[in-house]
Amino acid sequence: MRLAKISFFREPAGLTVAEIVAMTGAEPAADAPPDRAIADIASLERARACDLTFLDGSKHLDALAATRAGACLMTGEFAAQAPKGVAVLRVKEPYRAFVAVARALHPDALRPSTLFDAEGAAPGAHVHPSAEIEDGVTVDPGAVIGPRAAVGSGTVIGANAVIGPSVQIGRGCAIGPNVSIVHALIGDGVIVQAGCHIGHDGFRYHSNARGHVKVPQLGRVIIQDHVEIGAGSTIDRGGGGDTVIGEGTKIDNLVQVGHNCTIGRHCIVVSQCGISGSVTLADRVMLGGQVGIADHITIGEGAMVAAKSGVISNIPAGEKWMGYPAMRRYDYLRIFAQMRRRPK
Amino acid sequence: MRLAKISFFREPAGLTVAEIVAMTGAEPAADAPPDRAIADIASLERARACDLTFLDGSKHLDALAATRAGACLMTGEFAAQAPKGVAVLRVKEPYRAFVAVARALHPDALRPSTLFDAEGAAPGAHVHPSAEIEDGVTVDPGAVIGPRAAVGSGTVIGANAVIGPSVQIGRGCAIGPNVSIVHALIGDGVIVQAGCHIGHDGFRYHSNARGHVKVPQLGRVIIQDHVEIGAGSTIDRGGGGDTVIGEGTKIDNLVQVGHNCTIGRHCIVVSQCGISGSVTLADRVMLGGQVGIADHITIGEGAMVAAKSGVISNIPAGEKWMGYPAMRRYDYLRIFAQMRRRPK
Amino acid sequence: MRLAKISFFREPAGLTVAEIVAMTGAEPAADAPPDRAIADIASLERARACDLTFLDGSKHLDALAATRAGACLMTGEFAAQAPKGVAVLRVKEPYRAFVAVARALHPDALRPSTLFDAEGAAPGAHVHPSAEIEDGVTVDPGAVIGPRAAVGSGTVIGANAVIGPSVQIGRGCAIGPNVSIVHALIGDGVIVQAGCHIGHDGFRYHSNARGHVKVPQLGRVIIQDHVEIGAGSTIDRGGGGDTVIGEGTKIDNLVQVGHNCTIGRHCIVVSQCGISGSVTLADRVMLGGQVGIADHITIGEGAMVAAKSGVISNIPAGEKWMGYPAMRRYDYLRIFAQMRRRPK
- Rounded Cα distance, C23 and C37, in Å: 15
Nearest CB to C276 within list A194, A230, A289 = A289
Q: Return all residues near A10 (Cβ < 8 A) that are at least 6 apart.
A: A108
Q: Which of B54, B59, B267, B290 to mutate to test the interface with A (most CBs of A within 10 A)?
A: B290
pLDDT at A344 over 70: no
pLDDT at A276 over 80: yes
C207 touches chain A (CB under 8 A): yes
- What percent of chain C lies above the pLDDT cut of 70? 98
Tell me what pLDDT residue C1 has: 42
What are residue A237's phi and psi, to 5 degrees? Answer: -75, 165
Residues from chain B contacting residue C272 (CB–CB below 8 Å) = 256, 272, 274, 292
Nearest CB to A141 within list C144, C183, C220 = C144
Confidence of residue B1 (pLDDT cuts 50, 70, 90): very low
Rounded to 5°, the CA angle A14-A16-A20 comes to: 95
pLDDT at B229 over 90: yes
List subunits contacting chain C, requiring 3 or more Cβ pairs under 8 Å.
Answer: A, B
Residues from chain B contacting residue A292 (CB–CB below 8 Å) = 272, 289-290, 307-308
Contact between residue B212 and residue B194 where contact means Cβ atoms under 8 Å apart: no
Q: What is the pLDDT of residues C25-63, one digit of tens each?
A: 999 999 999 999 999 999 999 999 999 999 998 889 999
Question: Which residue intervals of chain A are DSSP H helices?
Answer: 17-24, 61-66, 94-105, 329-341
Cβ count within 10 A of residue B82: 21
Q: What is the pLDDT of residues C73-131, one digit of tens each?
A: 999 999 999 999 999 999 999 999 999 999 999 999 999 999 999 999 999 999 999 99
Buried b (16+ CB within 10 A) or exposed e, A174-213: bbbbbbbbbbbbbbbbbbbbbbbbbbbbbbbbbeeeebbb
Confidence of residue B341 (pLDDT cuts 50, 70, 90): confident
Which residues numbered 285-314 in B keep a CB inside 8 Å of some CB on A? 289-290, 307-308
φ/ψ bin of B154: left (φ > 0), alpha (ψ from -120 to 50), beta (otherwise): left
Q: Return all residues near C311 (Cβ < 8 A) that are at least 6 apart.
A: C291, C292, C293, C294, C297, C299, C305, C321, C325, C326
Nearest to A185 by CA among B67, C38, B8: B8
- What percent of chain B lies above the pLDDT cut of 90? 92
- Rounded Cα distance, B69 and B91, in Å: 17
Q: Which of C10, C115, C245 to mutate to test the interface with B (most CBs of B within 10 A)?
A: C115
DSSP per-residue string spanning B214-227: EPP---EEEE-TT-
- What percent of chain A lies above the pLDDT cut of 70? 98
Tell me what pLDDT residue B2 has: 45
pLDDT at B6 over 80: no
Q: Give burial (CB, 10 Å; 0-12/13-18/19+) of B91.
A: buried
Confidence of residue A342 (pLDDT cuts 50, 70, 90): low
Active-site residue set of C: 259
Confidence of residue C336 (pLDDT cuts 50, 70, 90): confident
Amino acid identity, residue B106?
A: H
CA distance A143 to chain C (A): 10
Q: What is the DSSP letter of A250?
A: E
Amino acid identity, residue B235?
A: I
- Rounded Cα distance, A297 and A312, in Å: 7
Contact between residue B185 and residue B168 where contact means Cβ atoms under 8 Å apart: yes
- Rounded Cα distance, B54 and C256, in Å: 42
CA distance A297 to chain B (A): 14
Dihedral (Cα; A91, A93, A97, A102), 10-degree rounding: 130
- Rounded Cα distance, A94 and A321, in Å: 30
What are residue A323's phi and psi, to 5 degrees? Answer: 95, 180
Confidence of residue C2 (pLDDT cuts 50, 70, 90): very low
pLDDT at A4 over 80: no
Q: What is the pLDDT of residues A316-334, one digit of tens each?
A: 999 999 999 999 999 998 8
List subunits contacting chain B, requiring 3 or more Cβ pairs under 8 Å.
Answer: A, C
Does A182 contact B342 at a Cβ distance shorter than 8 Å? Answer: no
Angle, helices C94-105 vs C17-24, to 10°: value is 120
Helix (H, G, I), strand (E, B) or coil at B22: helix
Does C205 contact A268 at a Cβ distance shorter than 8 Å? Answer: yes
Residues from chain A contacting residue C185 (CB–CB below 8 Å) = 1, 3, 6
pLDDT at A310 over 90: yes
Mean pLDDT, chain A, rounded, equals 95
Q: What is the pLDDT of residues A121-148, one digit of tens each?
A: 999 999 999 999 999 999 999 999 999 9
How many CA atoms within 13 Å lie on the side-chain side of C200? Answer: 36
Strand partners, B221: B184, B243
Nearest CB to B166 within list C6, C109, C307 = C6
Does C220 contact A8 at a Cβ distance shorter than 8 Å? Answer: yes
pLDDT at A7 over 90: no
pTM here is 0.97
Buried b (16+ CB within 10 A) or exposed e, C165-198: bbbbbbbbbbbbbbbbbbbbbbbbbbbbbbbbbb
Q: What is the pLDDT of residues B254-299, one digit of tens each?
A: 999 999 999 999 999 999 999 999 999 999 999 999 999 999 999 9
Tell me what pLDDT residue A102 has: 97
Q: What is the pLDDT of residues C239-273, one digit of tens each?
A: 999 999 999 999 999 999 999 999 999 999 999 99
- Rounded Cα distance, C43 and B238, in Å: 13
Nearest to B228 by CA among B200, B201, B206, B253: B253
Average pLDDT over every residue of B192-198: 98
Q: What is the DSSP letter of B85?
A: T
Residues from chain B contacting residue C253 (CB–CB below 8 Å) = 197, 203, 234, 236, 256
Does A266 contact C211 at a Cβ distance shorter than 8 Å? Answer: yes
What separation in angstroms does the CA of C136 have from each of A41, C121, C172, C186, C226?
41, 10, 10, 17, 19
Confidence of residue C300 (pLDDT cuts 50, 70, 90): very high
